[in-house]
Amino acid sequence: VREFSAVILGAGGVGKSALTLRFMKGYFHEAYDPTIEETYRRTITLDDEASRLEVLDTAGTEQFVALNDLYIKAGRGFILAFSLTDQSTLKEIESLREQILRLKGDRVPIVVVGTKSDLPEERQVDREQMMQISLGWGVPIYETSAKKNWHVKDAFDDLLRQMRMR
Ligand code: GDP
Ligand code: MG
């Protein structure tokens, strides 16, 4: 069984832990603890192949570029998470992407995830803007809700398929 390590990065509070827990453990965790950094492991069968997936859920330390460097060096693929309800969280994934490209080159597996799609009345990032990111960066982008379990598996499956091919 091949093993792959993924890292989820993004601004504090966007829902990285909720997304990771939803996919790796199967439940939604309401409470917010920005300080928890944790690695989760799971065997996933996808396209008739079993893989060991390790996901590092990073904690809100985006100001420490050196720490992000360590996270990025440790990962084979990346989920860049922003909140659909907070336009300013796009800035963070822009700089994270640049950091990843600098350290890993431009063929690195990346999936961009907009979180909290179950809160349409609070939405600040529209489809048009998401299309621009996806086309501009050449990466897949998903609208997800960890709370409702919308498209969470789609995003992780996409990343695993990319990692298998590289
Ligand atoms: P992190 O700092 O990026 O790990 O963010 P968390 O996963 O801890 O989530 C921050 C807050 O957003 C928590 O209060 C979560 O309950 C909430 N949250 C996370 N994902 C969702 C979601 O899909 N929908 C809604 N409504 N709230 C969410
Ligand atoms: Mg967290």
pLDDT at residue 64, as a whole number? 67
Atom of ligand 1 nearest to the CA of 29: 16
115, 117, 119, 150: which to mutate for ligand 1, most atoms within 8 A of CB?
A: 115
The whole-model pTM stands at 0.96
Is residue 119 in contact with ligand 1, taking CB distance under 6 Å? yes
16, 27, 147: which to mutate for ligand 1, most atoms within 8 A of CB?
A: 147
89 alpha carbon to ligand 1 midpoint, in Å? 13
DSSP SS3 for 39: strand
pLDDT along the chain (166 residues), means of 10: 96 95 94 88 97 93 73 95 97 94 94 98 97 97 98 98 96
126 alpha carbon to ligand 1 midpoint, in Å? 19
Q: What is the ipTM of this complex?
A: 0.99
pLDDT at residue 33, as a whole number? 85
Atom of ligand 1 nearest to the CA of 145: 23
Question: Residue 81 and residue 112: Cα distance in Å, rounded?
Answer: 6
- Counting beta carbons within 10 angstroms of the beta carbon of residue 2, is it exposed (0 to 12), middle (13 to 18) or buried (19 or more)? exposed
Question: Residue 121 and residue 124: Cα distance in Å, rounded?
Answer: 9
pLDDT at residue 32, as a whole number? 79
Q: Nearest Cα to 125, choosing from 81, 80, 79, 83? A: 83
